[in-house]
Amino acid sequence: MADPAAARRALEAALGAENVLADPLALQLYARDASMVAGSAGLVAFPRSTDDAVACVRAASAHGMAIVPRGAGTGLAGGATPVGDPLVVVSSKMRRILEVRTEDRLAWVEPGVPNLDLSNHLASLGWTYAPDPSSQQTSTIGGNVNTNAGGPHCLAYGVTAAHVLALDVVLSDGTVARLGSEGPETGGYDLRGLVVGSEGTLGIVTAVCVRIAPRPPAIRTLLLDFTAVADAAETVSEVIARGVVPAAVEMMDQGITIAAERFAHAGYPIDAAAILLVELEGLASTVDVQSREVESAARSHGVRTIRVATDDAERALIWKGRKSAFGAVAQIAPHYHLHDCVVPRTKLAEVLTGIYAIAERHDLVVTNVFHAGDGNLHPLFSFDLREPGTLERVLAAADEVVRLCVAAGGAISGEHGIGLEKRDFMPLVFSDDDLAAMACVRSAFDPDGRMNPMKVLPDGARCGDFAAARGHDVARVAADLPAGSWI
């Protein structure tokens, strides 16, 4: 039986009373993330070190509580929403940049460091950390690791998984493991690669070693405007077909462009059906030649105007509109539901048409701002929850959007993760055996199911269905190996 009172006493003794919260207001505050689902927290703890995190795992284990690791709570899929009164372990008191070693092209940071703090710190040294989710002002590196976060610049540089060298992780049995290494390869299975994107279900990340890179010598940002969404989408494909992989290609449709322009005054053309923001990075000569290719591709698809940012201030302004888009939609309606799915780049126009039709059918306002280069759509439905029946319409539309993306050959999440919100969609893209294999990964790390239960996998996905029921056990495999060996 769970004994939160005893867990609280143990944690207060280990972490100090100021780092443990159990009052109703705190429990309510940590009962949800940025998704639409609310849960219930049993206890909230703020470790300041790996040792503190170990104490959290031990106290939870000793007193029958599950654990939900959490960063800034900007997640949109409910991955950090506690279910069933667990201990919520918050990284906000672990926010030191521990070291930056440019000679090794790496930095060690604590999980609670906001993405933008790291980026700004590195920028002051002439270096960069590529992943830049739109939430980067708030969202933490630890949260980014757990969702395998993306962002506009992942087109050229890859998602978070490609930028994490090593992790210190407190496992569910309270042991601390350094997974991965400062070098390019590690012995054994890539457990680091499994923890990335695992949404807090495999352990508590307490330190992250990220790969950093020198800042490119030249950056150019172009704003292209089109009178038809399809023209913008086809331009994206043509740019890629010409052998140009920009650092970022973002698309905004008319609805979001109008909202963002009112907010940011970036000079966006509000009569355009769609705009593209294209960022090119590299040597000056690379940027020149790629810029010519992009402009030529856009002209062959009827671009109306091409605006090139002439200085850093203009570049920042153009990006400000994009990065503040989700805030700007508050002008449309008080609430929104943001989706995240991926489709083949060549299907963008077709799927967008389908999304507009879904919105119309359910009488909802939809706007779109997304990572077009990756085919990563973010349709955003705006509404007022105070109107009766709205939530049902929103959820019905959400269901149709996911199915539309899957039918187009896509993925059910590009960068936000599965959490609670999408776990029941997993069978749309994965077979029973696929899901059982995932459950095996989970139970390999957490045999007792203590870490962030109910997340990622749908009810019924069990490792036991896959293998254990057929009579194997760890001892049998381990017995085949010499002492101290590692498969």
- Alpha helix ranges (H) inside 148-246: 154-157, 191-195, 229-241
The values of phi and psi at residue 465, to 5°, are -65, -20
The values of phi and psi at residue 365, to 5°, are -90, 125
CB 324, CB 307: distance < 8 Å:
no
The values of phi and psi at residue 187, to 5°, are -70, 150
**Which residue in the set 24, 388, 389, 482 belongs to the binding site for other proteins (CB under 8 A)?**
482
Sequence-distant (≥ 6) Cβ neighbours of residue 20 within 8 angstroms: 8, 11, 12, 43, 44, 45, 46
**Which residue in the set 404, 418, 420, 451 belongs to the binding site for other proteins (CB under 8 A)?**
418
CB of 13 to other proteins, least distance (A): 28
Q: CB neighbours (10 Å) of residue 474?
A: 10
CA pair distance 24, 37, nearest whole angstrom: 18
Asked whether position 284 contacts other proteins by CB under 8 A, the answer is: yes
CB of 70 to other proteins, least distance (A): 17
Residue 319: closest CA among 46, 485, 119, 97: 119
Asked whether position 183 contacts other proteins by CB under 8 A, the answer is: yes
CB of 25 to other proteins, least distance (A): 32
Three-class DSSP labels, 339-357: CCEECCHHHHHHHHHHHHH
Considering only residues 75 to 104 of the shown chain, the ones binding other proteins according to CB under 8 A are 101, 103-104
Asked whether position 486 contacts other proteins by CB under 8 A, the answer is: yes
The stretch among 90-98, 133-141, 177-185, 388-396 that binds other proteins (CB under 8 A) is 177-185
Asked whether position 197 contacts other proteins by CB under 8 A, the answer is: yes
**Which residue in the set 123, 241, 330, 357 belongs to the binding site for other proteins (CB under 8 A)?**
241
The values of phi and psi at residue 217, to 5°, are -70, -25
In terms of Cβ atoms closer than 10 Å to its own Cβ (0-12, 13-18, 19+), residue 388 is: exposed
Binding mask 287-316 for other proteins (x = CB under 8 A): -xxx--------------------------
Asked whether position 456 contacts other proteins by CB under 8 A, the answer is: yes
Asked whether position 448 contacts other proteins by CB under 8 A, the answer is: no
CA pair distance 179, 167, nearest whole angstrom: 5
290/368 with CB nearer other proteins: 290
CB of 59 to other proteins, least distance (A): 21
Asked whether position 214 contacts other proteins by CB under 8 A, the answer is: yes
The stretch among 17-25, 29-37, 47-55, 339-347 that binds other proteins (CB under 8 A) is 339-347
**Which residue in the set 16, 125, 190, 360 belongs to the binding site for other proteins (CB under 8 A)?**
190
Considering only residues 25 to 84 of the shown chain, the ones binding other proteins according to CB under 8 A are none
Asked whether position 174 contacts other proteins by CB under 8 A, the answer is: no
CB of 17 to other proteins, least distance (A): 33
The stretch among 33-41, 224-232, 357-365, 477-485 that binds other proteins (CB under 8 A) is 477-485
Residue where the block lists tokens 């085919």: 375
Q: 3-state DSSP call for residue 476?
A: helix
Amino acid of residue 433: D
Binding mask 356-395 for other proteins (x = CB under 8 A): ------------------xxx-------------------
Asked whether position 138 contacts other proteins by CB under 8 A, the answer is: no
Asked whether position 424 contacts other proteins by CB under 8 A, the answer is: no
CB of 283 to other proteins, least distance (A): 5
In terms of Cβ atoms closer than 10 Å to its own Cβ (0-12, 13-18, 19+), residue 217 is: exposed
Asked whether position 410 contacts other proteins by CB under 8 A, the answer is: yes
